[in-house]
Amino acid sequence: MEVALSDKEMEKLFVDKFGNDLRPFIKVRAPGRVNLIGEHTDYNDGFVFPMALTRQTTILAKPRTDGVIRIASSLEPQVVEFSIDAPVKKDPPKWSAYPRGVAEALRKKNLLKVGMDALAYTDVPLGGGLSSSASFEVASGLAMLTVNNASLAMPELALACQWAEHHYAGVPCGIMDQYISAMGVKGHAMLLDCRDLKPRQIPLDNTQVEFLIVNSNVKHELVQGEYTARRNQCHRAVELISRAFPMVKALRDVSMPMLEECRLNLDPVVFRRARHVITENQRTLDFAAALEAKNWKSAGKLMYASHESLRDDYGVSCPELDALVEICSGVSGIYGARMTGGGFGGSIVVMGRHAAMADAAATIDDQYPRRTGLQATHFVTTAGPGAHVVSGLAR
Ligand code: ADP
Ligand code: MG
């Protein structure tokens, strides 16, 4: 299970895994993330709004004098060993793909002279849509840079990690997860324009709002096929709309009046898919403005509206996610809730006052099993920091 370890427990585990003294060591961290709003907008050149979690991957590492990286995880029995003196091999076990890929990306940039012995542990739930993979990659990369006294701008580190995810883990992801894990700022969320990849840090007062992340613990089988179908429908909408409006390159460029004008030429389902994307982009910008104004109620309403649009227009919710959102909407002090991630299962994100978090959790524990026969898992988070070195090498 993913749990936080104390410094002492971690240092002991390091010695157990590697059988040698730990000192001198470095410690780095990189968070998981949740997308607060802006769903299915990334592949339409639109806006997303991720926030770094207070849950993160921590890596404790000791530099070596040779070009060997040995890496262990508190969740895995093996110690993985590979060399950075030549292209890094894509060998098993599967979990080693992440640090291997990052090592290869940094090696190609000539940033790695020495290897390290490194131990990773995490309290980000694995495979729960909270991007434990990006946090593992970014923490691995930062550890490698730190033991080498090498520096790399955070956007470059994020791109190296995305490269690793594409080429070593085989997941063709966008840049959002690695960007927020590398560049998150405590007490802020990141408005990211997926067209020019420019991030804007939006203040999110941790003393006034907190977030409950609730995993529905369902994963419906449809995900991949439905995802491809949605992408094709968006593509089709652009194709048809651009006949009337040649400057349209993506749904990002379409306004609601433009969509209405083309309505008769669009299949009703394609029309609804496009309407979700167009309204979701606007909601994401409005959400950022509401947070800046500390108008939590307006921001919360936009989260509910986002959920309804994903459910009714985009068709990617499911009864379990709808039940969770509905349960939370009845709790006093909760401002908003919505499904987060691709859909058909996975998690919801709930925004509310600190005092409402325990009530929401208890209400879910009471009502969700009765309505669905399932147990949900949940935790509270605020806007945590992005990747950082906790302790570096004495120079
Ligand atoms: P998500 O990113 O949503 O959590 P992924 O399937 O993309 O889900 O990534 C999860 C995978 O990342 C795990 O199956 C495991 O291989 C790897 N992983 C993440 N964190 C660790 C860790 N601390 N130790 C070992 N493997 C990890
Ligand atoms: Mg992932």
pLDDT tens digits for range 257-274: 999 999 999 999 999 999
Average pLDDT score over residue span 135-157: 98
Domain membership of residue 277 (yes or no) is: no
What is the C-alpha radius of gyration for the chain, rounded to an integer number of angstroms? 22
CA 129 to ligand 2 center in whole angstroms = 7
Domain membership of residue 231 (yes or no) is: no
- Closest residue by Cα to atom 5, ligand 1, is 127
Domain membership of residue 68 (yes or no) is: yes
- Closest residue by Cα to atom 16, ligand 1, is 95
Instruction: Tell me if residue 177 is catalytic.
Output: yes
287 falls in which pLDDT band (50, 70, 90)? very high
Domain membership of residue 104 (yes or no) is: yes
d(CA 132, CA 120): 12
Mutate which of 95, 130, 219, 223 for ligand 1? The one with the most ligand atoms within 8 Å of its CB, which is: 95
Count of residues making up the chain:
395
pLDDT of residue 22: 75
Write the pLDDT tens digit of every residue in 342-354.
999 999 999 999 9
pLDDT of residue 3: 65
CA 388 to ligand 2 center in whole angstroms = 20
Average pLDDT, the chain: 96
Please, which residues bridge with residue 118 across strands?
Answer: 61, 71
Contact in structure between 214 and 364 (CB atoms under 8 Å): yes
Average pLDDT score over residue span 213-227: 89
Percent of the chain with pLDDT strictly greater than 70: 99
d(CA 69, CA 101): 12
Number of structural domains (the chain) is: 1
- Which entry of 45, 123, 177, 253 is annotated as an active-site residue? 177
Domain membership of residue 302 (yes or no) is: no
d(CA 175, CA 153): 15
Mutate which of 35, 133, 171 for ligand 1? The one with the most ligand atoms within 8 Å of its CB, which is: 133
Domain membership of residue 170 (yes or no) is: yes
Domain membership of residue 184 (yes or no) is: yes
pLDDT of residue 219: 84
CB-defined site of ligand 1, < 6 Å: 57, 73, 75-76, 94-95, 98, 120, 122, 126-133, 136
> What is the pTM (predicted TM-score) of this model?
0.95
Better-scored residue on pLDDT, 11 or 57:
57
Domain that holds residue 145: 7-204+384-391
CA 304 to ligand 2 center in whole angstroms = 25
Domain of 64, CATH number, reads 3.30.230.10
d(CA 190, CA 188): 7
Atom of ligand 1 nearest to the CA of 73: 24
Atom of ligand 1 nearest to the CA of 129: 3
Average pLDDT score over residue span 182-190: 98
Amino acid at 111: L
- From residue 222, how far is each of 218, 227, 286 by CA, in Å? 12, 8, 31
Percent of the chain with pLDDT strictly greater than 90: 90
For 57-91, give one letter per residue: b (16+ CB within 10 A) or e: bbbbbbbeeeeebbbbbbeeeebbebebeeebeee
d(CA 92, CA 81): 11
Say which residues have a Cβ less than 8 Å from residue 52's Cβ, sequence separation at least 6. Answer: 31, 32, 33, 180, 181, 184, 185, 186, 383, 384, 385, 386
Domain membership of residue 143 (yes or no) is: yes
Rounded (5°) CA angle 3-212-47: 110
Q: Is the pLDDT of residue 1 over 60?
A: no
Q: Among residues 32, 36, 34, which one has the least CA distance to residue 284? A: 36
Atom of ligand 1 nearest to the CA of 120: 23
